[in-house]
Amino acid sequence: MAASLGRPVRLSSVSVRLLPRPAFVLTNLTVEEDSAYGVEPLLHANTVVAPIRLLALWRGRLELARISVDEASVNLVRTPDGRWNLDSLFGHAAAQAGVGAKQDGDGARRIPYLRATNSRINIKRGAEKLPFSLVDTDLSLWQEKPDELRLELKGQPARTDLNLNQGDTGIVELSATVHKAAELRLMPVKLDLEWREAQLGQLTRLVLGRDPGWRGDLRGELHMEGTGETALVKTRLRAEGVHRAEFAPASPMDFDANCSLTYHYSAHAVEKLACDSPLGSGRVKISGELPGSSPAQLTAEFDRIPVAAGLDALRTVRSELSPGLEAAGTVSGKIAYAGADQGSAEAKPSASGKPTKLAAVPVSLLSGSLTVEGFRLSGAGLSQPLAADKITLEPAAGPPSALAGTAAFALGGAAPVQVSFRLGDSSYQVSVHGTASVARVRELAHASGLKGAEALDSLAGDPLALDLTADGHWMPVEMPVEKTASGDSLSGTVAIRNANWKASYLVNHVQIAQATLHLDDGGLRWDPVAFTYGPLKGTATLRLPADCSDCTPRFEVQFGELDAATLQAALLGARSKGTLISELLDRLHPAQPAIWPKLEGTVKADVLALGPVTLHQATLAVKMNAAGVEIETLDGDLLGGHLHALGSIKDGDRPQYLLSGTAEKLSPAAVGQLIGQHWSGGELKASGKLDVTGYTGDELASSAKGALHLDWKHGAVSGVAGTTPSALVHFTNWTADAEIGGGKLTLKQNEAVEGGRKTAVEGSVTLSIPAKASFVAPKDARVKR
C-alpha cells in the first residue's frame, strides 16, 4: 500500500480474511503526509478492508485490488506557493502505472481501487486547518487504464466553526478523469462539478461566516477540460426566488448566467471571457481579457435591463430598503473597462536641462455610457412617484472608476431637486441640492430606510432646504464591535423655517421659526434652533453623537426672561384655575405624566423668576431620563449675591423638587425686603436643603420641608416698632439654624453676639407672597406690658 500511494502507511493491527474472498482487515490505518505539506496524516481510518487481487497472486505478486474505508478523515493541503498535496500523490500513481506497464506486457500494475464512505474531507492552507470541509462524503479513486485515473466524489459542504443547517448547504458532486504527466498541473484533466440543492441563506453563512439575510435556491455547474496549467472552463449559475428573509416580493429575482473562458494557471490569466445571462425582460453580456501581468480589458453590454432588477439586487444586499418600493424603466448601453491605472506622464526639461518626469494624470478607466429610460420609483408610502424620462450615466473623471449622472425630481419645493449620482463597482455617492416639502422628505426617508427617519413624522412646515451627500458601500461593511454603523455616511445640512414639531413627551407643538440640522460623520447637530413653546421662547442647540448607541444627546437652551412657574406649567401642566393665563397654560399639560427621553445639557436664562426671588444670569446643568430630572448644578446671581445649588425634579401626580445649596455675599437690604424688614450691615451667607411638592405657590409653601443655616456679621434689623428683638438691633455676628415646615421657616438654635453678650432669638417667617417675618418680643418688653 505504501508503494502504491508513495506515502508511509502505518496501522495498529492486521488480520487476513479468507471468505468471501481473501482480504486484509486493517485497524487504525494512517497514511502519513509528505513533510512538505505538514505533519497531519493524509488519511486516517479506524477500519480498512483491502481485498487481494487474485490474478496478480496467481502470477506470484501480492497486489491489493481495493481499499475500502468507512468514516475516514482526509486532509487536502494547499501550500502558500499554490501546490496541493495531491500533486505528488497523482504523480506517483502515474509513475507506478508506467513502471507496471514496462514490467508486465499483459497489463500494468494498477493502484488499488480506493473507496471511502461516510467520510470527511478537511481543507488546510499550509499548517492552518480552515473551517471548511466536506462531510458525509463518498469518494472513489481508481485506475481506469494504465495512464488514466478516475475520481468521483459526493459530499455536503460544512463549516466547523458555525452551527449550520446541513440540509441547506447543498450537495457537491465531482467527476474527473486525470491522465498521467510529470506534474499535476500538466496532467490532462476532464472535470465536471455540480453544486445543487443549495439554499442561499445557509450558503452565504458557509462562505461569509454570517447570514446577510438572503434567501433563494442556487445551483452551480462547472466543466473544465485541458490541464491544470491551461484549461477551457464553462460555468452555469442559476438562482431562483432570490429575496431578503424579511419579505417575499411579488416578482423574486431570478437569473441564469453562462460563462466560458480559458484559464492559464501559471500566468493567473483569463482569456476569451464571455458571459451571457437573461435578466428580467432584458439581457446582459460581459466579455474581455484578463492577461494577469498586463491591464484587463472588459466590456459589459446591457439590453433593456429592468430597473426593477437593480432595485431587487440592491434590496437583497441592503435590508433597510422598504419592501414596498417598486421601480419601472430600463437600462441600455455599453461600458468598456480600459485597464489603465493612470494617464501618461510627460517629461519636460528642468532648469538644469535634465528631463523631469511629471506626476501621472489620473484618467477614467471606463468609456461608453448607459441610458435609463422611463425611470419611475413608487410604492412604500410615496404619495407621488419619483419620475425621470431619461437619465444618462457616463464615466466620471479620475479614479476610482465610476459612472456619474444627474437627474431632477419635483419634491414639492419651488424648483426641482437636483440629484447627482456617482456609482462605482463597490461604492456609491448621491448628492441632493434644492428645496423639498416636509411630507415628501419624510416619505423618501422612510422608503430608503434612513436611520432616524421617524423624527420627521412629527414635523410640518415650509419646504426644507436640502444640501446633502450620502456615500457608502453597496454591500454592508463589517464594523468593529464598538461601532454600529454599516459603512454608510450622510453629511450636509437641512434648513427648516416656519415649522412645528410634536414630540411624544410634549402635548403641544413646538413652533420653530428657523433651525439648521448639520450632519457630519453620522452625527447630528441642530444649531441654531429658534423656538416657541406656549409662553416659552428661546434658542437651542442639540447634538447627537455618531455611532454610539449608549451616548446621551446633549442640548443647550437659552432664554431671555424665564418664569419658573411658567416653565413648570408648560412642561408639566397648569393646575391653578381662574385666570386667563392659567387656562391657556393648562392646555399644555399632558393627560399622563411625561416620559422624558434621555438627555443632558444646559439651560441658561438672563433672568429666571423663582417665585418671590429672581436669579440673574442663571445656568442649570441637567440630566433628564424617564424618572425625572437631575440638576447637577444651578448657578446664578441672587439677592445681590451668588447661589450655587444642586438637586432633582421627580415627576408624578405632582412634581417634587429637591434642592440643596449655598448662597454667598447676599445683600442684607435685599433679604430684608423679601420678608418685609429693614436689614443693613455686612454680607450674609446661607446654606440649606429644601423639599417641596406641588404646582401652585400655596401647594409648594405648605409642602415645604427642610433646613436653613444663616451666618451674618455686623448687621442690624429694624421692622415694625416694638417687634424687633434688641439683640438684632445691632450685632457683631448672628448665626442661626432654622427649620422649614408647616408653611413656615422657624428659628431654632441661634446666637446673636454683641459686645461679648450672646442672645438667642425666637421668630419665624411665613412662606407666602409676600413673606412675613415675626419675632417673639424680648422678656423685658413682655414684663412692661
Q: Is residue 134 part of a domain?
A: yes
Cell of 506: 410634549
Residue 658 placed within a domain: no
Residue 481: what are its φ and ψ, rounded to 5°?
-60, -35
pLDDT, position 577: 42
Is there a domain that residue 25 lies in? yes
Averaged over successive runs of 10 residues, the pLDDT of the chain (785 residues) comes to: 81 88 88 86 89 78 82 88 75 58 48 86 87 90 83 90 79 91 81 90 81 84 91 92 72 83 89 90 91 87 91 76 85 87 47 51 75 91 90 85 91 92 88 93 84 78 92 67 55 91 76 89 81 88 75 89 78 49 43 67 91 90 85 94 93 84 94 88 94 84 92 86 77 94 91 89 86 70 42
* Vertex 146 angle, CA 140 and 148, to 5°: 50
Is 106 exposed, middle or buried (CB count within 10 Å of its CB: 0-12, 13-18, 19+)? exposed
Please state whether beta strands 641-650 and 355-357 pair in parallel, antiparallel, or not at all (unpaired): unpaired
**Residue 149 contacts residue 141 (beta carbons within 8 Å):** yes
The vertex-220 CA angle with 218 and 226, nearest 5°, equals 175
Q: What is the DSSP letter of 778?
A: P
- pLDDT of 358 reads 47
Residue 722 burial (10 A CB sphere; 0-12, 13-18, 19+): exposed
| Domain assignment present for 50 | yes
* pLDDT tens-digit readout, 23-73: 889 899 898 988 888 888 988 998 889 888 777 777 777 777 788 888 899
Considering the domain boundaries, does residue 401 fall inside one?
no
For residue 142 the three cell numbers come to: 481508481
Show the DSSP H helices in 13-84 as ranges. Answer: 54-58
Report whether 119 contacts 71 (CB < 8 A).
yes
Q: What is the pLDDT of residue 38?
A: 84
pLDDT at position 649, please?
86
Contact in structure between 491 and 469 (CB atoms under 8 Å): yes
Q: Check whether the bond before 480 is cis (ω within 30° of 0).
A: no
* pLDDT at site 775: 81
- Per-residue confidence (pLDDT) for residue 549, from 0 to 100: 64
What is the count of structural domains for the chain?
Answer: 1
CA distance 475 to 318: 7
Asked if the structure places residue 379 within a domain, the reply is no
Tell me the residue range of the domain where 63 lies.
Answer: 1-161
3-state SS class at 54: helix
Asked if the structure places residue 87 within a domain, the reply is yes
Quick one: DSSP state of residue 67? E
Quick one: pLDDT at residue 546?
Answer: 65
How many alpha carbons fall within 13 Å on the CB side of residue 708? 21
CA dihedral 303, 304, 308, 309 (to 10 degrees): -20
Check residue 19 and give its pLDDT.
83
The single-letter DSSP state of residue 553 is P
Query: Which contacts qualify for 408-413: CB closer than 8 Å, 24 or more apart?
Result: 411/435, 411/436, 411/437, 411/440, 411/441, 411/444, 412/436, 412/437, 412/439, 412/440, 412/463, 413/437, 413/463
pLDDT tens per residue, range 293-335: 788 899 999 999 999 888 877 877 777 777 788 889 999 999 9
Q: Cell numbers of 242, please?
A: 432570490
- Quote the cell numbers at residue 406: 444627474
35 Cβ contact list (under 8 Å, min separation 6): none
State the pLDDT at residue 347: 47
Q: What is the pLDDT of residue 583?
A: 43
Residue 311 sits at the vertex; the CA angle it makes with 307 and 317, to the nearest 5 degrees, is: 150
Residue 42 grid coordinates: 493524509
Residue 758: count of CB within 10 angstroms of its CB: 11
Q: Which three cell numbers stand for residue 667?
A: 445683600
Q: Is residue 576 part of a domain?
A: no
The answer to whether residues 120 and 137 touch, using CB atoms and an 8 Å cutoff, is yes
Question: Strand pairing of 113-125 and 66-70?
Answer: parallel
Phi and psi at 100, nearest 5°, equal -65, -35
